[in-house]
Structure 1
Amino acid sequence: MSTETTPQPLYGGWRRSKTMGIATLNSGQTVVVVGAMLTPIMVIILGGPLSTLTVTVPIALTVIILTVWQRHGMPLMSYAIGRARWSLANMRGETSYRSVFLPSPEALDLPGMVAPTRLIRAESSDGRGSTGLVWNQRTGTMTAALLLNPAGSLLASGTTVRSQVSSWGDALSRLADEDGVQMAAVTLQITPSSGAALSDHVRGRLDPSAPPLARQAIRELVDGAPRASAQMAAWFSLVIDPAASPEKPAGPAESAAVTLAALNAVDLSGAGVDILRRATDVDIKRLVRGAFAPADMDAPAAEIEKLVWHEVGPVAAEDEWTHYQHDGYYSTSWVLREAPRKLVAYDTLLKLLAPGQFTRRVTLVYRVLPTEEAQAVVEREINANDARRQYRERTKRTSTRRERVDAAHAERTAEEEAMGAGMVQWSIYVTTTVDNAADLPAARREIEKAGRSSGGLRFRPAFGGQSAALVVGLPVGINPLL
């Protein structure tokens, strides 16, 4: 007897978007470096004394070093500017939030980037019931969500996995044809819990008239189950800009209709996930409240329904440089620094999504480029690669292996786009939440270890933007890819 094994599908070829520049520098960094190099020369040409070189040269060298050297995958210049801006905001008190002391109407706002949002209930005419929509009054966008039930794929065959991944790619590609779609995001929140919930759930449903052997088997299974388990909530968020649609809605009601139409066009069949329902306003309140206070994720529906929009957020919050403190909880977030350079299997995120000791939320953010924009991006990338190649030829520098691989990926992307494939910009945000500041170091180690085990994904802390990174994964319409 012979058995055939289907090879495990592998995926890769991701690359960071690059612009024209010298060596590994982008356009902005190149301008800064060239400007710093020319400044001392221009000072002398314009008639400045030679003694000024003792001042301009050290300053120019400092600017060049800050621009070229990197920390956590970003130039030291960007890191220093970000730190200075956060310090200034901290001195002004802009990193602190106290809803009880805010004047009206600011007291009815959520903190930070979600302050201009409002939650509305839209009733659909197709009999699907109400849908919760988050309206950003500053940008005009509206956000809707689908509650998901992910299906496990660890025991699925390679053929099934390839089909699911292909279906997910098709679902994203179809969003490029939907006018007004700004962003799509998939979020999974894993909250640790005790095994008591499982035990109570099963024991309360045992049929007394069932055969004794069956009841005994169920009891043994429950008793043998792990004492620690986890609850998983998953949702798909869609951010719509109604003003970009052909209908040009005149008000919130028409904008809500455009948003619901775009949500109805989302087809996730075959992608390894079941759609439970469209998120109602109560569901969105629960998801947002569960981010700021994980203990309320399982609160009764009646209590969640009574909350008004500003009450789902914290009463007090402090946006620190390395973490975010909100109502007795402490959250710290990371953002993707670099995608895997090697080919990875479909389960590369398994370690990151596995239950841990602390609450974590993982969000994959997608921006599907329209056909015209995708073509322009591809051409820009190819032109940037050609410019780098010509620069290496003029300086007689041999390209590195990494540069050759990156150029090959850019060429392959251009070929696939020319044949009709869609182009997606994407990133990953990870947030972990604890109820004791002393647990923050352990929570950081847990996420960093899981990230290193996820097929070469590299993350960096969201320095100075912890409050913003926390709300990116919520269905409130925050788009970090614009």
Structure 2
Amino acid sequence: MSAGTRNYGNWRRPSTKGLLGLGWLSTALLFAALIATFLTVAIAGLLAGLAAMGVSAIAAGLVVTKNADHVSIIERVWERIMWAKTKATKRNVYRSGPLAATGWGRTQAPGVAAPLRLSEHVDSLGRPFALIYSPPGGLHTLVIETEPDGAALVDDEQIDQWVGSWGWWLSHLAGEPGLVGASVTVETAPDTGGRLGREVAANISGDAPQFARQVLADTVENYPAGSSVVRAYLALTFVSSTKKADRVGRELASRLPELTGTLASTGAGVAAPLDAARLCEVIRTAYDPAVASLIDEARMAGDHVPLEFSDVGPTAAEASWDSYRHDDATSRTWVMTGAPHGLISARGLEKAPRPSARHRAQARHFDV
């Protein structure tokens, strides 16, 4: 490591306002147990009070004792109970489509995504952007798509500048009116070769020699094999006093160009909001990765993919304790529950979302 490499550290877990590192609810329950113990002593005597104290101590131990992932015993037990209930009632199984028992005949997204509604608007630069509305919380979410430049053959000084700009961009979000949440999803997937084929077909000259045409054709056929494509999606969620999507869209239309323009200095590459059609393709591909090649083939043929938001979900899905099976893919989630010990460089965590060669050949990866 060179002397000029910048390091990052001083990681701190957000502290809670409760007692002994507990949340406010656990703290309230602990005080309630103590009060119940004192009342038992005053009403039923010392022996009954000692018994109540023992029960309270056991309950407090279940709440306070946590594993390496900072999850208490009572939380793990409750999670198992709820999972057993879900499996017993078959709520972990989803079937959709014209022949399914759901009744509506569409393949809409399951679970918490079922009530979502989609609308499309235009920002001040004339770019269409999709807006997802969640009726339960009154939330509106827009998604920005980027293609990160990557850190290969890039100087450490440039990477440090990207990290600093990314930190500034995140801090700038704190001043966005109505913003309540932001998330980044990095997608690493096998390259279908459709993008390269479309680029070559759009730029090849009609007077090009036959040899040049043959070289380009061989490149389009063989180059994408084994390669991957990396995209990043930034989801910004806003809360508004109105449920009218048109009004929220007009409010965000003037702010969206600055949000996408300032991302260029973070190494995110060209950033643009997802329109409704593109967002539907992204969600549908996440549920069924095999659709990606079909979408690319349709684009190469100049055809429009008639995909609606009510048809982006899986035809079949089943949740297990450690995985989620949907159509011809399986999803698993790995969560980092502890920060690195000591100092790390900007490249310290880049291996975490990087798929292996075996993964690139078999599946798409959505790393949050």
- TM-score of the pair, normalised by structure 2: 0.79
| 1:447-472 deviation digits (Å, cap 9, x = unpaired) | xxxxxxxxxxxxxxxxxxxxxxxxxx
Residue of structure 2 in register with 1:384 after alignment: none
Tell me, yes or no, if the aligned pair for 2:115 and 2:135 is still in contact at 8 Å. yes
Tell me, yes or no, if the aligned pair for 1:143 and 1:259 is still in contact at 8 Å. no
How many angstroms apart in 1 are the aligned matches of 2:132 and 2:335?
24
Tell me, yes or no, if the aligned pair for 1:146 and 1:235 is still in contact at 8 Å. yes
Residue of structure 1 in register with 2:174 after alignment: 176
Aligned length: 347
State the SS of the aligned residue for 1:84: helix
Tell me, yes or no, if the aligned pair for 1:18 and 1:26 is still in contact at 8 Å. no
State the SS of the aligned residue for 1:150: coil
Structure 1: runs of 5+ lacking an equivalent: 244-248, 364-482
The yes-or-no answer on 1:296 pairing with 2:291 is: yes
The yes-or-no answer on 1:259 pairing with 2:246 is: no
Residue of structure 2 in register with 1:285 after alignment: 280
Residue of structure 2 in register with 1:246 after alignment: none
Please report how far the alpha carbon of residue 288 of structure 1 lies from its aligned counterpart in structure 2 after TM superposition. 0.6
- Percent identity over paired residues: 23
Residue of structure 2 in register with 1:239 after alignment: 237
Tell me, yes or no, if the aligned pair for 1:190 and 1:360 is still in contact at 8 Å. yes
Tell me, yes or no, if the aligned pair for 1:150 and 1:272 is still in contact at 8 Å. yes
Residue of structure 2 in register with 1:85 after alignment: 82
The aligned amino acid for 1:240 is F
Task: List aligned pairs for 1:113-124, cutoff 5 A.
Answer: 113-124=112-123
Residue of structure 1 in register with 2:337 after alignment: 337
Tell me, yes or no, if the aligned pair for 1:101 and 1:107 is still in contact at 8 Å. no
Please report how far the alpha carbon of residue 22 of structure 1 lies from its aligned counterpart in structure 2 after TM superposition. 4.5
Residue of structure 1 in register with 2:4 after alignment: 7
How many angstroms apart in 2 are the aligned matches of 1:294 and 1:241?
32
How many angstroms apart in 2 are the aligned matches of 1:219 and 1:309?
37
How many angstroms apart in 1 are the aligned matches of 2:198 and 2:95?
39
How many angstroms apart in 1 are the aligned matches of 2:38 and 2:239?
49
How many angstroms apart in 2 are the aligned matches of 1:20 and 1:121?
41
The aligned amino acid for 1:255 is V
Residue of structure 1 in register with 2:150 after alignment: 152
State the SS of the aligned residue for 2:44: coil
Q: Compared with structure 1, are the counterparts of its residues 172 and 24 closer, same or farther at alpha carbon in structure 2 (3 Å cutoff)? A: closer
Residue of structure 2 in register with 1:131 after alignment: 129
Tell me, yes or no, if the aligned pair for 1:184 and 1:236 is still in contact at 8 Å. yes
Please report how far the alpha carbon of residue 93 of structure 1 lies from its aligned counterpart in structure 2 after TM superposition. 3.5
Tell me, yes or no, if the aligned pair for 1:21 and 1:30 is still in contact at 8 Å. yes
Residue of structure 1 in register with 2:59 after alignment: 63
Tell me, yes or no, if the aligned pair for 2:64 and 2:72 is still in contact at 8 Å. yes
How many angstroms apart in 2 are the aligned matches of 1:91 and 1:306?
37
| 1:200-256 deviation digits (Å, cap 9, x = unpaired) | 899997964678xxx69x989x98x8963222222222212233xxxxx57221111
How many angstroms apart in 1 are the aligned matches of 2:106 and 2:50?
54
How many angstroms apart in 1 are the aligned matches of 2:130 and 2:304?
14
Please report how far the alpha carbon of residue 117 of structure 1 lies from its aligned counterpart in structure 2 after TM superposition. 0.8
How many angstroms apart in 1 are the aligned matches of 2:243 and 2:91?
34
Please report how far the alpha carbon of residue 310 of structure 1 lies from its aligned counterpart in structure 2 after TM superposition. 2.2
Q: Compared with structure 1, are the counterparts of its residues 337 and 79 closer, same or farther at alpha carbon in structure 2 (3 Å cutoff)? A: same
How many angstroms apart in 1 are the aligned matches of 2:136 and 2:37?
44
Q: Compared with structure 1, are the counterparts of its residues 10 and 210 closer, same or farther at alpha carbon in structure 2 (3 Å cutoff)? A: farther
Residue of structure 1 in register with 2:316 after alignment: 316
**Which of 160, 167, 171 matches 2:165?**
167
Please report how far the alpha carbon of residue 286 of structure 1 lies from its aligned counterpart in structure 2 after TM superposition. 1.4
How many angstroms apart in 2 are the aligned matches of 1:180 and 1:202?
39
| 1:285-330 deviation digits (Å, cap 9, x = unpaired) | 1111121111213332568731221211012222332221222432
- Relative to its length, the structure with more strand (as a share) is 1
Q: Compared with structure 1, are the counterparts of its residues 59 and 88 closer, same or farther at alpha carbon in structure 2 (3 Å cutoff)? A: farther
Please report how far the alpha carbon of residue 189 of structure 1 lies from its aligned counterpart in structure 2 after TM superposition. 1.0
Superposition RMSD on alpha carbons, in Å? Answer: 3.7
Tell me, yes or no, if the aligned pair for 2:323 and 2:331 is still in contact at 8 Å. yes
Tell me, yes or no, if the aligned pair for 1:109 and 1:116 is still in contact at 8 Å. no
Larger displacement relative to structure 2 (37-46 or 6-15): 37-46
State the SS of the aligned residue for 2:233: strand
How many angstroms apart in 1 are the aligned matches of 2:106 and 2:196?
42
The aligned amino acid for 1:60 is S
Q: Compared with structure 1, are the counterparts of its residues 143 and 25 closer, same or farther at alpha carbon in structure 2 (3 Å cutoff)? A: closer
State the SS of the aligned residue for 2:284: helix
How many angstroms apart in 1 are the aligned matches of 2:29 and 2:177?
37
How many angstroms apart in 1 are the aligned matches of 2:17 and 2:271?
46
| 1:39-60 deviation digits (Å, cap 9, x = unpaired) | 4453232125836855x45533
State the SS of the aligned residue for 1:103: coil
Task: List aligned pairs for 1:71-470, cutoff 5 A.
Answer: 71=67, 72-99=69-96, 100-104=100-104, 109-124=108-123, 126=124, 128-192=126-190, 208=209, 228-243=226-241, 251-266=244-259, 267-300=262-295, 305-356=305-356, 357=359, 358-363=363-368
State the SS of the aligned residue for 2:129: strand
How many angstroms apart in 2 are the aligned matches of 1:164 and 1:59?
54
How many angstroms apart in 2 are the aligned matches of 1:255 and 1:351?
39
Q: Compared with structure 1, are the counterparts of its residues 292 and 284 closer, same or farther at alpha carbon in structure 2 (3 Å cutoff)? A: same
How many angstroms apart in 1 are the aligned matches of 2:134 and 2:255?
17
